[in-house]
Structure 1
Amino acid sequence: RSGEAGHGAPGMPPPAQRVTRGPKLIPGASVAGGRYRLLAAHGGSRGLVFWQALDIKLDREVALTFVDADQRAAQNAGEDGPQAILSRTLRLGRISSPGLARVLDVVRGSSGGIVVAEWTPGRSLREMAETRPSPIGAARAMASLAAATELTHRSGGALSIDHPDRVRISVAGDAVLAFPGTLADADVQSDVRGLGAMLYALMLARWPLGAPSNAITGAAAPSINVGGLRPADFTPAGVPVEPRAIRPEVPFEISAVAVRALEPHQGVRTAATLQHVLEQASVVDQKTEMLPSLRVGRAATPDGQSLADPGVRQVRSKRTLAMMAVLGTVIVLLLCLVGFWLANMLSGGGDSGPLSNQDLGFTTPATPSATYQGTNPPASGSVNGVPVSASNIVVYSPKGTPDNPSEARNVLGGSGVGWHTETYFQQFPALKPGIGLMATLPSGTKLTTVTVTSPSAGTQVEIRTSPTDLPTLDQTTVIARSALRAGTTKINIRNEQPAHYVLIWITKLANNGEQYQSAITDLTFTAAA
């Protein structure tokens, strides 16, 4: 009978199992044995709850991520259970990066637990997005989070960048994963998609991904606003509308990388690629295009000036003084060199000829004509070609938005105004396979030459024929290739087939330092007589 003592009388139902209740999360409540006092709620995601709290023992603010705060997954000991989430997140404490709040501790409970991280003063991503920050500032901010993500991936971990409530913008203008908590389904690809979604949301205050499901309880979240952000608009193809279509001032590189990072099986595949593109884009004007820095309890000034802490201001002041000292030294050296040069010139430089015959360095030597013959030798009978006029010309861009389509017709008629591409921070085909101009010629035209006038030396082009005015690139046929020089480049055509649509396809842009851009000021065509 002793074996039945713990089960009650025979035939009686077993007593109801006691339900463990989690702490009541309200401002002012104490958790973790009275160590932390809750200050303000900051949303949550997929069974995680985010709070700002005060560490009473050390008198500092911290960020708390409650894992299974309602203690509904006490029996779940698998990879998606609370204890596994805490263990994965604890390993993030080895990552040191401005884009990741440092994990200080993990408090384990009977079911769930708490991730304790450094508090990130500033604004939530939604609050910053509502101020409509500059695209360059958004790129610079997200580059910090991308760098932290790349470091985590190299260490074999992941971040679960899946919800805007997780991310805050620091007083230095960096995007920070402020509430760490690595779920079971986190991997490299989902983090890259999350980075694209955060960049998209920061620029447009719209969320381009659906609401995530509850990873702990398995409950699906409704498809409504996510973290206070309205859902993004989608094209008929089912992809989010490009940021450039909504905010034309968004640079092409930033717009393209945001959309391509959202593509699940193609496009941007690593955080390192996204970080590189964003850092290159933000180099354009880091000083004036940073997100406005903030102090807790203050709003950004209307002109976007920094409200950094006094310590930050002091460091910047010292840096400014150092730069001014260096600049002053350079100016003094330049003045000395100019004075030395003038003294030598006035005292005679060894040339007794008249001044009109001396080279004083104010003029440049005469250069030969800039006309350049392309790499293709002329076809037989092409010397006596006759000019043909294009009836129409448009910008052809099979991937992404066309560059400056309103300028296309400037290349016809010799106006000298011309057409130019956007400024890129990576060479083709990093984000685009290329771009070109599609010209419509009279039916039956047998081209002999295409003459391109351009200031962009080093640009590489292909001359292609097309069966339609809107083909895929694979439907076009290459009939000539050439590298452009500054000035006029004549490209000879070896093709006996008539052409109605001719594509001048740019495969490599001119290199201007760390930027890439090409321009075409005039196009002329000749055909067999």
Structure 2
Amino acid sequence: MPPDPGDTQRDLRPGRDAPGETSTTTAQPSGTITGMLLSGRYRLRTRVGSDTAAGAEFWRAEDTMLRRDVAISVLRRLAADPAGDDADPAADGESVGSTRAGEMMVRALRSGSFEHTGCARLLDVLAPGSGGMPPDVLGAAVTEWIPGKSLAEVVSDGLIKPTAVARGVAPLAAAAEAAHRRGLVLGIDHPQRVRVTPEGKVMVCFALPRPTVTPADDVRGLGAVLYVLLTSHWPLSGVDAARAGLAATERPPSGELPTPSLQRPGVPVELDTLVIGTLGPEDAPGHVHTAAAVHRLLDEVIAEDDRLALFPPEHDGVPSSPGDVWQDDDAGQAQPDPGRRRKLLTGVAVLAVAVVGVLVFLSIQFGSLLSDDGGEGPAIVVSTPPVAQQGGEPGEPAPAPAPGAVGDVVAAAGVEVYDKAGTGDNSGRVAQVIDGDGGSSWKTSTYKDQFPVFKPGIGIMVSFASPVSLAEISIESPSAGTVVQVKAAQSADDDVEEMSTIGEATLSDGTTAVSLDGGEPVAHVLVWITRLSGGGSENSSQINELEFRRTAVG
């Protein structure tokens, strides 16, 4: 990677990249360096990898016009091809001269209308020789930036549960299946072309695979991604593995690929068979030939895991997480939750008051029966503590509760992440905000900028079995500074603009009580986050528990 330009790139600093300024019209130097502006719009920020067989460099860049991160695959001319007339041999026997680069750009243009949740969307294609392009750049493709981690960063964090690997790779397999049906390829056989989102979903981030890549190579790539996430070793090119910061798979003298289950416990036989079926010889028994077959087999593994969720899983070498149904036998005793203790004491106190009330009522009724029989029976005296009167003369009835007085807790019937501008952050964990356990939680993704830069906000939509008048919501959260609006909705699919705001607050570290306008009964309530906790490029919010209380009745 070329060295950082330092002081020589002062004209390329932010604020000097608007169209029409000097820095966008000056001829670019040879090579790609940090801070360089391509086509007067895309500023290169961090080089995150390269595919030497394709002559491609992978960059995280900034779209200076829309102020957002993008991913750019840049095709570079080799030093041995200064004129760019003929294709030149590159690593792994490939050639990446002008002719081959042109083929790659044509394939990129063909994929312009292809969109899938398993791969980044193509945003722009930069032709060679256009304004603001270095002379040795043969073209570039701009795609969405996938936040999260590279494969090397993911496996460096430790082992991943096999079923989580299957769930993460399934969208990528679906994307490959859809692309192959349209005559396209994704280039999954290179480890630095894919990234893993904070939710664990594996996606293709960088475009421009070499022209010789076929659907069969994508199928092998799917198997390689499964293999590296299960074993932390890349089973294909050792050169690519080293360049990506991954360990290469060591094969025995026989040359056979070791199965994932031989390197770690708990890998289902279905995943073992699938991985070896994609990476083995094409004429071997059980070879997997298509991405559609990979997708179908992964779906079967996921469905089987869901079916067996009520049974203890086989030990897979990964400690259980707080959200798992089955916990390790040797796990330490959980720390007591002050919030749960407070709720328990409140419930016991309410129950005790109810019991005393019932006893008083029964005693009065029993005494009345004895009095009606002529007063001959023994007198029964029930001694109860006096009830404090709030104003008025002694003996006057207590006033009815004021409107909006807090009553008992209302149980939620359902909950989901409300995110019409995205795919829903950590939607699989949102049910933990109504499970009564303050030790479990739901958390947003980490955003580089505050709302509303990427989206206007994100929320939790809570539904009740029947409409209810609400007086208060308690929000337990460690994310101080989070700003929320509580909105009443007629339907869980209503737009935010159509909802009425019944409360708002800035959360503190702990439990924040928010008073609500409980005039009209509501069946759906949205806890809408308009500002995240944090600062700089690390903005996120966590909610441990939501508790709703109805309006008391007199």
Q: TM-score scaled to structure 1, two decimals?
A: 0.49
Q: TM-score scaled to structure 2, two decimals?
A: 0.47
Q: Which has the higher contact order (CA 8 A, sep 6+)?
A: 1
